[in-house]
Structure 1
Amino acid sequence: MNNLTIVATCTFGLEKVLKREVTDLGYEIDKVEDGKVYFKGNKKDVMNANLHLRTAGRVLIFITTFDAYSFDDLFDNVESYPWEDIFEKNAGFNATKISSVKSKLFSKRDIQKIVKKAIVERLKRKYKLNKLSESGSYYELIVNIKKDKVSIFINTSGKGLHKRGYRENALKAPLKETLASGIILLSGYRGDRPFSDVMCGSGTIVIEAAMKAKNIAPGLNRGFAFEKWKEYSSKDFELLKEEARAEIKPAEVRLLGNDIDYRAIKLANENARKAGVEDAVAFQKMDMKEFRSRKKNGLMIVNPPYAERIGNEAEVIQLYKDFGKMYENLEDWKLFVLCAHPMFQKYFGEKADRNRKLFNGNMLCYLYQYYPKRK
């Protein structure tokens, strides 16, 4: 696994942000598809990408691609691949994530069974075994089929990379950490200006911005699937983590988070402590309408409630109106708002200078971007 095609996945709409992240890590981009960024690397690069990418959902290894119009095609192509070059004779494996779009093969259960059977038959023949023990390292396969084109990947991350290890508890409808980081990177925030989220919930946006400001690698406090694979060196990974810890720096400013719910503030403080940014943030129970700041050139990023996920319509509309009035007092602050409500701009009272489509889970949202007005 030293000449690899590595694939970093992301939510739709963040491909350019992820591409920039991968480039900043020093890798040359092979190609970009919907929700995927491809680049070349080795085992150490797989570890490095998992450790440092803020907007990636998972880091995969691309294995093979082929056309399949029938289950016989699927079996034959999978069985013909040299899986013995990847899996030891006692390796465990399964196709755990299957997707099929506009293809003749669409039964996820059948696809999973056939991929598994084809690999088992190949390994039994190559290793001259009657049965595979599958007692060794475990590998999770991802199979994507689009317009009858099958692509197979190995998941090196394990659980999604949005699970940083600091947010065990959250309020309902939390924003994924990877999406929060994507918005922060889109805003251009570098930790050198005032920052606030006036509807912070359990603190995800503020904490992700503080981690960026302190240069804390997002994967420092979690485990990865590759750590259980024999071919990956724990010594090399520990060295990468030591290098990442050495790059952590103090925050230049204290980032602010407010919420009307005391439980949210309590959770936000707990999460900040676990993330290692308690020295860089301040969370306060406060109604959004009361927020004021004398500081200049600030940035506010907010994911306000919308009726589809939280609250009722009348409350949400009044909230947006109050939010717009509050923002009028922040003449030189930049504002980014992620919202799925189709009438947000109307009730907020101002049309955004720019907007961008993003997906929060499966929900289409818009990132409304407001810039200070020149006097």
Structure 2
Amino acid sequence: MSEPLTLIATSTFGLEAVVARELKQLGYEDQTVENGRVMFQADKAAICRCNLWLRSADRILICLGEFTALDFDDLFDETRDLEWERWLPPSARFPVRATAVRSKINSAKNSQKMVKKAIAERLKDHYIKDWFPEDGPMYSVSVSILKDRATLCIDTTGPGLHKRGYRKLTAGAQLKETLAAGLIQLSYWNNERALVDSCCGSGTIPIEAALIGTNTAPGLNRSFVAEEWHKIPAELWSEAREEARDLQDLDALSFRLQGYDIDPGMIRMARYHAREAGVDELVHFQDQPVAEFSTPRKYGCIITNPPYGERLGEKEEAEVIYRQMKEVFAPLDTWSIYVLTSHPGFERIFDRKARRRKLYNGRIECTYYQFPGPPPPRKRSPWDDATNTDSESTSETDADAPADDTTDSAD
């Protein structure tokens, strides 16, 4: 590995293990999982590959350094000692964003000013210049101070990784693409199983499932801020995209995915987004209320993000939908069902005991209710007769396992 780097994949709280598993699948095993981030060791090529491939991460950062900062003098001196010239050219634009939590340094605004000044002083000494125009490529600097420990990074992503490029129309309370991908990766769904979203809204869950099922890199059709950096050769980006195109398999899905919503306008939006994502032939969208849902298939997964009833007057409407879900999902005793909602009474209304996981949909604290069903029969192979292997599988395979099955909890 040339020029080892310390990189950080940030994520929403609750999806760290999902991101860690994605990184391992890409070959990055040397990692540390913490709240809201996964720190890992890699090279420059990883910046390209991770931005293209990570489905549930928010962004990819280069970690310039970590140190203890008890006051602004510590922050200035330690920041100035870091090798900013390793990445920032004389023309670099380097805005600074800071957060400070449970630390002696408690002013984010003053932290930003101090770090900006320290970086400028370091660059002045290196480039022998007194002034920098900041009219070149963007190198956004983030400063996170937690319990007096400062972490300084440069963002390689630009607009967050949830910006896949296909969701060009907007509607209220849309689920982020990264969270939708996380919900799928926390389920037992794979590309040989049917998938239904009974409250699909603008279609994000089925579309993300189609991208996962066809092994389509979610960042394949967008650009990243680090593509403008002279320190990362253009051929690394070309090689990463070529790899992604080679690994894509648009014929991999065994079933056409399904999304339903009571609002015809949302269904039109979902179909438009599916076309923009290049998966419109793989997903069927239809305007239909939850109460009318039925399926002849014996096995499959329902993954859905129904209304929460957060706003005044909407709670009763949400609870009506939950009761409808209880009735129409009851016969599906061989299906796996996954529901994300912030409504504290969902499990009681649904009248089934769930595995529960805390996740955040934006700033809303939610619970991911998981009702895994039995595995479908394993497909019979020519080797079964020779080995006397029973064609009925009694347990999930490793390939079917959710990204973090061990942390799911049942209370």
Aligned to 2:84: 83
Aligned to 2:40: 39
Letter in 2 for 1:27: Y
2:274 aligned with 1:272: yes
How do 1:60-71 residues align onto structure 2 when only pairs under 5 Å count?
60-71=61-72
Aligned to 1:218: 218
Contact 1:180–1:208 (Cα < 8 Å) also in 2: yes
Letter in 1 for 2:180: A
* Equivalent position SS for 1:199: coil
* In structure 1, distance between residues paired with 2:37 and 2:194: 33
2:352 aligned with 1:350: yes
Aligned to 2:9: 8
Structure 2: where are the runs of 5+ without partners? 376-411
Deviation by residue 1:95-127 (Cα, 9 ceiling, x = unmatched): 13x211101222222111111111111211222
Residue 41 (structure 1) shift = 1.1
Letter in 2 for 1:243: E
How do 1:246-257 residues align onto structure 2 when only pairs under 5 Å count?
246-249=246-249, 250=251, 251-257=253-259
How do 1:125-144 residues align onto structure 2 when only pairs under 5 Å count?
125-144=125-144
* Equivalent position SS for 1:235: helix
Aligned to 2:234: 234
Residue 373 (structure 1) shift = 7.1
Question: Relative to 1, partners in 2 of residues 1:205 and 1:24: Cα closer, same or farther, differing over 3 Å?
Answer: same
Residue 310 (structure 1) shift = 8.6
Contact 1:137–1:230 (Cα < 8 Å) also in 2: no
Aligned to 1:93: 94
* Equivalent position SS for 2:206: helix
Question: Relative to 1, partners in 2 of residues 1:367 and 1:117: Cα closer, same or farther, differing over 3 Å?
Answer: same
Contact 2:85–2:126 (Cα < 8 Å) also in 1: yes
Contact 1:173–1:309 (Cα < 8 Å) also in 2: no
Residue 330 (structure 1) shift = 1.8
* In structure 2, distance between residues paired with 1:373 and 1:93: 52
2:319 aligned with 1:287: no
* In structure 2, distance between residues paired with 1:232 and 1:84: 14
* In structure 1, distance between residues paired with 2:311 and 2:177: 18
Residue 372 (structure 1) shift = 3.1
Aligned to 1:244: 244
Residue 246 (structure 1) shift = 2.0
* In structure 1, distance between residues paired with 2:276 and 2:147: 44
User: With structure 1 as the length reference, what TM-score do the two structures score?
Assistant: 0.96
Query: Comparing 280-289 with 233-242, which one deviates more in the overlay?
Result: 233-242
Question: Relative to 1, partners in 2 of residues 1:329 and 1:2: Cα closer, same or farther, differing over 3 Å?
Answer: same
Letter in 2 for 1:334: S
Query: Comparing 365-374 with 327-336, which one deviates more in the overlay?
Result: 365-374
User: With structure 2 as the length reference, what TM-score do the two structures score?
Assistant: 0.87
* Equivalent position SS for 1:215: coil
Structure 1: where are the runs of 5+ without partners? none
2:156 aligned with 1:156: yes
* In structure 2, distance between residues paired with 1:17 and 1:127: 42
Aligned to 1:307: 309
Contact 1:94–1:139 (Cα < 8 Å) also in 2: yes
Residue 82 (structure 1) shift = 2.5
Aligned to 1:359: 360
Question: Relative to 1, partners in 2 of residues 1:192 and 1:309: Cα closer, same or farther, differing over 3 Å?
Answer: farther
Letter in 2 for 1:290: E
Question: Relative to 1, partners in 2 of residues 1:134 and 1:208: Cα closer, same or farther, differing over 3 Å?
Answer: same
Aligned to 1:184: 184
Letter in 1 for 2:325: F
Contact 1:292–1:329 (Cα < 8 Å) also in 2: no
Moved over 4 A (4+): none
Letter in 2 for 1:110: N
2:119 aligned with 1:119: yes
Question: Relative to 1, partners in 2 of residues 1:178 and 1:106: Cα closer, same or farther, differing over 3 Å?
Answer: same
Deviation by residue 1:45-99 (Cα, 9 ceiling, x = unmatched): 1100110011111111111111112212211111122322222222221213x21
* In structure 2, distance between residues paired with 1:113 and 1:179: 33
Contact 1:29–1:37 (Cα < 8 Å) also in 2: no
1:318 to 317, 320, 328: 320
* In structure 2, distance between residues paired with 1:40 and 1:74: 25
Letter in 2 for 1:260: I
* Equivalent position SS for 2:39: strand
Over aligned residues, Cα RMSD in angstroms? 1.6
Contact 2:298–2:335 (Cα < 8 Å) also in 1: yes
Letter in 2 for 1:32: V
* In structure 1, distance between residues paired with 2:213 and 2:196: 13
The number of equivalent residue pairs is 372
Contact 1:6–1:59 (Cα < 8 Å) also in 2: yes
* In structure 2, distance between residues paired with 1:212 and 1:100: 36
2:289 aligned with 1:298: no
Aligned to 1:198: 198
* In structure 1, distance between residues paired with 2:332 and 2:139: 51
